[in-house]
Amino acid sequence: MHLAKNLLTAMIGKLRLTNSLTRKKELFEPINPPEVGMYVCGPTVYSDVHLGNVRTFISFDIINRYLKFLGYKVRYVRNITDVGHLLDNGEDKISKKARLNKLEPMEIVQKYTNDFHSVMKIFNVLPPDIEPSAIGHLFEQVEMIETLLSKGFAYQANGSVYFDLTRYNKLYAYGKLSGRKIEDLINQSRTLEGQDDKKNPLDFALWKKAAPNHIMKWKTKWSDGFPGWHLECSVMSTKYLGTQFDIHGGGLDLKFPHHDCEIAQCLGASDKEPAKYWMHTNMLTVNGQKMSKSLGNAFLPWQLISGNHGMLDRGYSPMAIRFFMLQSHYASNLDFSNEALNGSVKGYTKLANGIRILKEIIYPKHDSLNVNAALINQINKICDDCHSAMDDDFNTALTIGHLFNLLKKVNSLYSKQIAFTDINKATFNRMKTTLLTFTEEILGIKPEKEINGHNLLNILLENYVEAKESKNYKKVDSLRQRLAEEGITVKDMKDSVGWAYNE
Ligand SMILES: [Zn+2]
């Protein structure tokens, strides 16, 4: 973005990433450079986006930003699942929510898509280049089913169409991404309702005949039904990125069966391995325990922001949360605790203050320099280290460490421990550009007011009113404090809550 063109060119060809398919760290060599195609499985829009999703999309946001920074022409596709994602009892997640709320399924889809977009915006996640939806690609899904039927990789049974894994396994190996063996899977498989039409219990649905009371269904020659969940991603990645593209990503929980099924569908339809590199983000834990609704330790993004959850001591600003997430590698587990989050607030504040100071510093004019060559080398080395850390499988944690090392030099300049005459203008400019570009453009950490402002204020005020209404005074106090941190004073009036920016 801002670095010299020759420097950008030098960076290309050094990036290495962990490929889940080969289980190795590999040199990134796109199929058609400078173009890069990246597909990431998006959310199923039937409820509030959970924090695990936020982490996944922040991780791929970093990957998208860094690839673009390196000079690649990235086409980033992230889908919206609006049909076909079934519960264990066979009911569609969106249909169920629509039935319970007496709404049109598309009202549910719209509401949670809008909510998802605002959460992404709050965390400064850039939108993808294409955001296709499953319902918007029904024709293409039917087409792929026909191709799979004509090639003998699918069969019809009682109005449904299933993928034929027995036939597939004669040519390819199902489960190679997750490393699962088909015999073990057969032993573990459960027979679910309406699945007895299958030849093999592991065969998965491409088209499912709908029960009479099922709301979301479409007419095809097979039946009034709906597409299987795995199909949409194969169809939409092929449509927008071609039969072979560079990166396919998603959360670790999608590796099996979703991603193994996607590979099977694509190989069956085109005889081509869809993605060259598969990347997976790891899961979230809270105080070392898996985050789950049943354990009562799963908090939603807005709860983490407002502090409105029993596990949380206080709320945290979206940029501090983003900073917190980037302090672990995307492929490692991310553990939430009040201590770790508070540590991140300190780190984020330090970084934000440093950047603010840096923006104000201009290299002064000198008659003569008395340069310190060792110091100049040191500064240049730290700038190089920022690139190397990102080139090493997008190691954001290490990058942040190097940025802090650069900040120390900035602070020394500011406090006059280092004289401007010690370093030349070029070195100062490189230090400034590296710090600003890596912090704001690549890591996406910007001053909170520039990103949020009103959005954040609304979340905090809504929670404040709710806490007051439910007479949860501990939360009222903690939210009042959070609002003060954002420079806002709340005023309790008789029937409402007023607010004002502090002078
Ligand atoms: Zn998917």
Question: Ligand 1 centroid to 313 CA: how many Å?
Answer: 35
Size (the chain), residues: 503
Tell how far the Cα of 152 is from the centroid of ligand 1, in angstroms: 23
Q: What is the pLDDT of residues 223-279, one digit of tens each?
A: 999 999 999 999 999 999 999 999 999 999 999 999 999 999 999 999 999 999 999
Pairing assessment for the beta strands 73-78 and 245-251 based on DSSP bridges: unpaired
pTM of the model: 0.90
Spatial contact of 351 and 445, defined as CB atoms under 8 Å apart: yes
**Distance (Å) from CA 265 to ligand 1 centroid:** 12
What is the CA(237)–ligand 1 centre distance, in A? 9
Q: Hunting for tokens 């299933």 — which residue is that? A: 162
Q: How far is the CA of 200 from the centre of ligand 1 (A)?
A: 23
CA-closest candidate to residue 432, choices 414, 451, 444, 456:
414
Distance 258 CA to ligand 1 centre (A): 6
Tell me if 36 sits within 8 A of 75, measured CB to CB. yes
Q: What distance in Å separates the CA atoms of residue 224 and residue 218, rounded to the nearest whole number?
A: 5
Residue 80 near residue 43, CB atoms below 8 Å: yes
Distance 332 CA to ligand 1 centre (A): 21
How much distance in Å is there from the Cα of 205 to the middle of ligand 1? 15
Helix (H) or strand (E) holding 499: strand 497-501
Q: What is residue 477's predicted lDDT score, i.e. its pLDDT?
A: 86
Separation of 259 CA from ligand 1 center, angstroms? 7
81 CA → ligand 1 middle, Å: 8
Amino acid letter, 330: Y
> 86 C-alpha to center of ligand 1: Å?
14
Ligand 1 centroid – CA 326 distance (Å): 24
Domain ranges (residues) in the chain: 5-281, 316-449
Helix ranges, 123-259 (H): 138-150, 165-171, 182-188, 229-241
Query: Is 5-281 CATH 3.30.830.10?
Result: no
What pairs with residue 161 in β-bridges? 156, 207
**393-431 burial, b for 16+ CB within 10 Å, e for fewer?**
bbbbebbbebbeebbebbbebeeeebebebbeeebbebb
Q: Are strands 245-251 and 205-209 parallel, antiparallel or unpaired?
A: unpaired
Q: How far is the CA of 320 from the centre of ligand 1 (A)?
A: 29
Q: Give the pLDDT confidence score for residue 162 in this predicted structure.
A: 97
Amino acid at residue number 239: K
> Under a CB-based contact definition with an 8 Å cutoff, are residues 268 and 168 in contact?
yes
CB atoms within 10 A of CB 132: 22
DSSP state of 128: P
Alpha carbon of 55 to ligand 1 centroid (Å)? 16
What is the pLDDT, as a whole number, of residue 186? 72
User: How confident is the prediction along the chain (503 residues), in pLDDT tens digits per residue?
Assistant: 444 444 455 445 799 999 999 999 999 999 999 999 999 999 999 888 999 999 999 999 999 999 999 999 999 999 999 987 777 777 788 888 888 888 888 888 999 999 999 899 999 999 999 999 999 999 999 999 999 999 999 999 999 999 999 999 999 999 999 999 877 777 766 555 456 789 998 999 999 999 888 888 999 999 999 999 999 999 999 999 999 999 999 999 999 999 999 999 999 999 999 999 999 999 999 999 988 777 888 889 988 988 888 888 888 989 999 999 999 999 999 999 999 999 999 999 999 999 999 998 889 888 788 899 999 999 999 999 999 999 999 999 999 999 999 999 999 998 889 999 999 999 999 999 999 999 999 999 998 878 776 677 777 888 888 888 888 888 888 888 888 887 788 888 777 777 777 76
**Ligand 1 centroid to residue 229 C-alpha, Å:** 8
Q: Would you state the pLDDT for residue 389?
A: 98
Cα 230 to averaged position of ligand 1 atoms, centre (Å):
6
The string of pLDDT tens digits covering residues 173-190 is: 999 999 998 777 777 665
Bridging pattern class, strands 289-290 and 334-336: unpaired
Element (H, E) at 382: helix 373-391
| Same fold across 5-281 and 316-449 | no
Name the CATH code of domain 316-449 (choices 1.20.120, 1.10.1760, 1.10.730, 1.10.3470).
1.10.730
Span from the CA of 58 to the centroid of ligand 1 (angstroms): 17
* Burial (Cβ within 10 Å: 0-12, 13-18, ≥19) of residue 114: exposed
